[in-house]
Structure 1
Amino acid sequence: MQKKITKRNVDATEVEARDVFVWDTEVKGFGLKVTPKGRKVYLLQYRLPGTSTRRYTIGVHGAPWTPDGARNEAITLLSQVLRGEDPAEARQAIRADPTIAQLCDLYLAEGVATKKASTVSADRARIERHLKPLLGRKQLRSLARADISRFLSDVSAGKTAVDERTRKRGRAIVRGGPVAANRALATLSAILAFANERGLRADNPVRGVKKFKEGKRARFLSNEEIARLGEALREAESRGVNSYAIAAIRLLILTGCRKNEVLALRWEEVDLSSGALRLSDSKTGAKQVLLGAPARAILAELPRQFANPYVICGRTPAEHLVGLQKVWVGVRAKAGLCDVRLHDLRHSFASVAARSGESLLIIGKVLGHSTAAATSRYAHLSNDPIRVAVEKTASEVGDMLRPARKAK
């Protein structure tokens, strides 16, 4: 069939017992294949002079391939065909022993279909800002552990640091440091694991490279500091600071949610009748967040904007707030909390629960942690069941160690 390939048409194409092909009406040869298992793949069909028709797989539908992105890629490939070049042969040459830059592009095209969009976005940023500048020209098979150790040190030392404008109101600030270096190394390891799966290299030279030690950054607000924060928020509100930004900060410390969970929250995910947020996606997948009365009151009073699905509305229609950090910097300075990050509000919500005697199991459930290890940082604040067990066992053993009382 022939129709313009759009997201709506891609989603609406039904799975059949055989492969289904949809050919784009705008770019000749650009198409979509839907397999009997429901896999949707963008492709390009072309023919060079004196050859039979060939098909080139662009990538699987989903991050990073959208209909428009795949169409643009098809146009680029067709320009190669017009020059007499065969995209399939070029890909094979790349796959024989690609450079790290070429491997990164192949990974983003074919190795991230099962990853979250936010993870892919972070991977792409590290690839463009760290991997390609420092390792991009290196051939995959010649990449050695010494190259990777040097890469880790260079990122930490700030050799790829940059501060530049990316659009009218956008700004890219890339810093070095041990944490940035460790995250870039993790992305490189994932890319090399992808190369292993494709048979491009038998080993992963990242294994054995020592990461930098990262200090624990958890910061818990005391009761007095929380009171100062509340006063600073009220003062900012009286000065006419963005009401949605103020509400976002309050919701962060009242719910223990992550920043993006609050900023990307949609009204369809808010259920005030049962006092819960039903998040369709989060760092750990879909989850439910129960709301206390203060959080319910904030949500009930927030004005809704017509045609904007987000709870925390931004300046641009139908978009959520961006730039919360700028408001936070002013609020925390007023409260005398200049070392506190937005993420520390989540820690502080959990620390109040811990100081109130809630178990680590309950705190983990509240925060939506997927592992007990993630909640262990609050152990020293809580009436930890492990500590209770230790105290009980030690008391029993202690009783046994004491001399038996003589009968009178």
Structure 2
Amino acid sequence: MTKLTKRFVETVEPQSNGHVVWDDELPGFGLRVYPSGKRSYIVQYRSRGRSRRYTIGLHGVWAPETARREAKALLGQVAHGGDPAEEREEDRKALTIKQLCEQYIADMEAGLILGKGGRPKKDTTIATDVGRIRRHIIPLLGTRRVRDITKPDMNNLMKDIIAGKTRVTMKTEKLRGKAIVRGGRGTAIRTMGLLGGIFSYAVEAGVIEHNPTHGLRKPKYQVRDRRLSEAEYRTLGDILRQAQQSDRYGIHAEILRLITLTGCRRGEIVNLKWSEVDLEGSCLRLVDSKEGSSVRPVGLPVVEYLEKERPHRTGTYVFPGQGIDNAVGNFPQSWKKLFKDTPLWDVTPHVLRHSFASIANDLGFTEITIAALIGHAKGSVTSKYVHTLDSTLIMAADTVSGYVKALLEGVEFRRNTYTLDRQSRKSAIDQMLTESRPAL
């Protein structure tokens, strides 16, 4: 006769397919033993003509005697017409939005929520998502039950965020830090995208059957098409040269200059490590860019700058901070102050990146080449097996960065009207044919 005691439970041997050991003293009470050796207490019963199984909990969390008492209570509910398994399922489906969000955050921080490219979300992305959850989603929907949410609720939520109903200024964990939450259209679009992912997570977990954000009409992003003119590049060069003489803004001016010459993202340059700089290959081998690992071709002006600075800088980072081997800080505040009260007051690092791509387009490079230069998803060189870059990309990087460097130094280029001048086109063709003829 088998009785589930502590000694018996801990000595029972697991089997390859897992098995259940039933207690002879209390019918319906059993121990499920998994192939891994994990053990859990269960109750099996019949309700409305169906056999149901209810998991009480893991051995270790539950002792055999407490699990036995719980089993007796559950079987008592069954005798009075109850169905504990169905009630648990209903309770699980009755999660509130706040509870669902907390589960999502826990799994996200554990690396179980995958982002772009099937990779776990980065710490910066997690911090942004948690901020949107705690500052917009939970304040507006936190107490609502997940299964009660409908598409009209999603539409109203989006309108509330656009209208700024979650606007607030709050302290952050940083010293004297604060977050100014404004809401608005861009915030609403990104928050609804995140919430769609949270509801997909709920569908996969069996909490709900359908995602209420599917088919939701969202406003379009405002396309940021600001780019520097050639005159503004010359103004930028003057600002950066003046700032480089300052002890306070010198290193930040160098970061801005490198962003201008490479088209890299702000974080890619601020956090650039010497181990990612390949001077011989004329490229940056970024370990953790927005698109994952990325090989980024850079022009000769960038190579020469890095060669010049390398002997004078120690530590891990190209632009070191004041702490122990860390990257420079306060960059956002510094570039805003540098451009304040200047003709470039509305210029951001993203504008510099967009302007680099626009110059490349002006110079006649293809979209796929430009994408490779700036590390865009559609053309990013991401293979870890790429040891040498195509000479075409190096030439493109040289051309664009050389052109931008000249603009920063005050050069005024004369526009070539070749495509509009038929005689020039004819002369160019004749010259090409003449040069191609073999010498007599």
TM-score interval for Structure 1 and Structure 2 normalised by the shorter chain: 0.5 to 0.7
Query: Are the equivalent residues in 1 in contact too, given 2:244–2:251 (CA < 8 A)?
Result: no
Report the equivalent of 1:109. Answer: 106
Once the 2 structures are TM-superposed, how far is the Cα of residue 298 of structure 1 from its aligned partner? 3.0
RMSD: 2.7
Stretch moving more, 148-157 or 103-112:
103-112
Following the alignment from structure 1 to structure 2, what is the Cα–Cα distance between the partners of residues 255 and 45?
58
Report the equivalent of 1:269. Answer: 276
Query: Are the equivalent residues in 2 in contact too, given 1:232–1:334 (CA < 8 A)?
Result: no
Query: Are the equivalent residues in 1 in contact too, given 2:243–2:338 (CA < 8 A)?
Result: yes
Q: Cα–Cα, structure 1 residues 94 and 345, in superposed 2: closer, same or farther, change >3 Å? A: farther
Once the 2 structures are TM-superposed, how far is the Cα of residue 127 of structure 1 from its aligned partner? 0.8
Q: Deviations over 1:246-279 (max 9, x none)?
A: 1211111111111111122111111122221101
Structure 1 unmatched ranges of 5 or more: 1-17, 19-34, 36-43, 54-90, 373-387, 389-408
Structure 2 unmatched ranges of 5 or more: 1-15, 17-35, 37-57, 69-87, 380-418, 420-440
Q: Cα–Cα, structure 1 residues 95 and 347, in superposed 2: closer, same or farther, change >3 Å? A: same
Following the alignment from structure 1 to structure 2, what is the Cα–Cα distance between the partners of residues 94 and 267?
54
Query: Are the equivalent residues in 2 in contact too, given 1:247–1:298 (CA < 8 A)?
Result: no
Query: Are the equivalent residues in 1 in contact too, given 2:360–2:370 (CA < 8 A)?
Result: yes
Report the equivalent of 1:47. Answer: 61
Matches within 5 A, 1:17-32: none
What secondary structure, in the 3-state scheme, does the structure 1 residue paired with 2:361 have?
Answer: helix
The yes-or-no answer on 1:147 pairing with 2:153 is yes
Q: Deviations over 1:322-368 (max 9, x none)?
A: 32121111222354111222211100111111111112121112122
Report the equivalent of 1:125. Answer: 131
The yes-or-no answer on 1:100 pairing with 2:100 is no
Which of 283, 290, 311 does residue 283 from structure 1 map onto? 290
User: Which structure has the greater CA radius of gyration?
Assistant: 2
TM-score by length of 2: 0.62
What secondary structure, in the 3-state scheme, does the structure 1 residue paired with 2:244 have?
Answer: helix
Matches within 5 A, 1:345-384: 345-371=352-378
Once the 2 structures are TM-superposed, how far is the Cα of residue 293 of structure 1 from its aligned partner? 2.1
In the comparison of the two structures, how many residue pairs are matched? 295
Once the 2 structures are TM-superposed, how far is the Cα of residue 95 of structure 1 from its aligned partner? 3.1
Once the 2 structures are TM-superposed, how far is the Cα of residue 164 of structure 1 from its aligned partner? 3.1
Matches within 5 A, 1:287-326: 287-302=294-309, 306=314, 308-326=315-333
Query: Are the equivalent residues in 1 in contact too, given 2:228–2:355 (CA < 8 A)?
Result: yes
Following the alignment from structure 1 to structure 2, what is the Cα–Cα distance between the partners of residues 234 and 191?
47
Query: Are the equivalent residues in 2 in contact too, given 1:160–1:176 (CA < 8 A)?
Result: yes
TM-score by length of 1: 0.66
Stretch moving more, 177-186 or 121-130:
121-130
Once the 2 structures are TM-superposed, how far is the Cα of residue 321 of structure 1 from its aligned partner? 2.3
Q: Deviations over 1:23-73 (max 9, x none)?
A: xxxxxxxxxxxx9xxxxxxxx9843463369xxxxxxxxxxxxxxxxxxxx
Report the equivalent of 1:222. Answer: 229
Q: Percent identity?
A: 36
Once the 2 structures are TM-superposed, how far is the Cα of residue 155 of structure 1 from its aligned partner? 1.1
Report the equivalent of 2:431. Answer: none
